[in-house]
Structure 1
Amino acid sequence: MRSLSAPAALLLPLLLAATQASAQGALQQERLSFGRVVAESWCANCHVTGPGARGPVGDAAPPFQEIARMPSTTEMSLRVFLQTPHARMPDYRLSQAELDGVVAYILSLKGR
């Protein structure tokens, strides 16, 4: 069995890390896309769900971008809020994947 040269041995961990980061980035992008679809399907009746999105007319719930920019908005606070029944919000039963996606999507709007 042939051993790796010193430069190859140094590059291998970097290549593995880059591959893992790329896979994690793709998973995060997939989660955001799924979260956007869930939000557009279930939340758009009351919220403007993203930049350029059409929203409800009248006294509606706050836009997702506004929610994302609130100092109190964190991953944990969104998870708790979305799993707690509220008088003005329908009692949606989100699956774990839907919850993960919507939370990730809302948080992604913070900087937009």
Structure 2
Amino acid sequence: MKRICGLQSAVAVALLLMVNGESAAADRLRGRAIAQRWCSECHVVAPGQVRGSDTVPTFAQIGESERFDERSLSTFLATPHHSRMPNLSLTRTEIADLVAYMKSKEP
């Protein structure tokens, strides 16, 4: 009986590690959905978007910028006191997904 309980515990831990490992990877498709929902009011976030402010960079410009690597983008998005951006209160996972989308070469 103890052996079965130990095996069940080991399997449960392994499954949790697998699930956490999968969710830790940034998902650019989720990032695109976040961008379209929260960022497209001001930024052009995707090819073909016709609305956006001309006073802020497009996501393509941000993604291609040498100034903004993944780390600096993540830090910027996690800082709630931007001068012109609203505080979106994004989670670390949402930030990672959004950065993955911005840095991807695919729409």
- Fold match by TM threshold 0.5: yes
Equivalent in the alignment of 2:91: 95
1:24-74 alpha-carbon deviations (Å, 9 max, x no partner) = 8xx66xx11100000000000110002222322x54421000111111121
Q: Bigger radius of gyration, 1 or 2?
A: 1
- TM-score w.r.t. length of structure 2: 0.68
- What per-residue deviation string (whole Å, max 9, x for no partner) do you get for residues 70-109 of structure 1? 1112110100111122111001110122111101000003
Q: Quote the Cα distance in structure 2 between the aligned partners of 1:86 and 1:74.
A: 18
Aligned residues: 83
TM-score normalized by structure 1? 0.65
1:108 corresponds to: 104
The yes-or-no answer on 1:45 pairing with 2:34 is no
SS in 1 for 2:61: helix
Give the root-mean-square deviation of aligned CA atoms. Answer: 2.0
Deviating 4+ runs (over 4 angstroms): none
Which blocks of at least 5 consecutive residues in structure 2 are unaligned? 1-21
Correspondent of 2:60 among 37, 45, 65: 65
Match of 1:11 in 2: none
Task: Tell me the distance in 2 between the aligned counterparts of 1:35 and 1:54.
Answer: 19
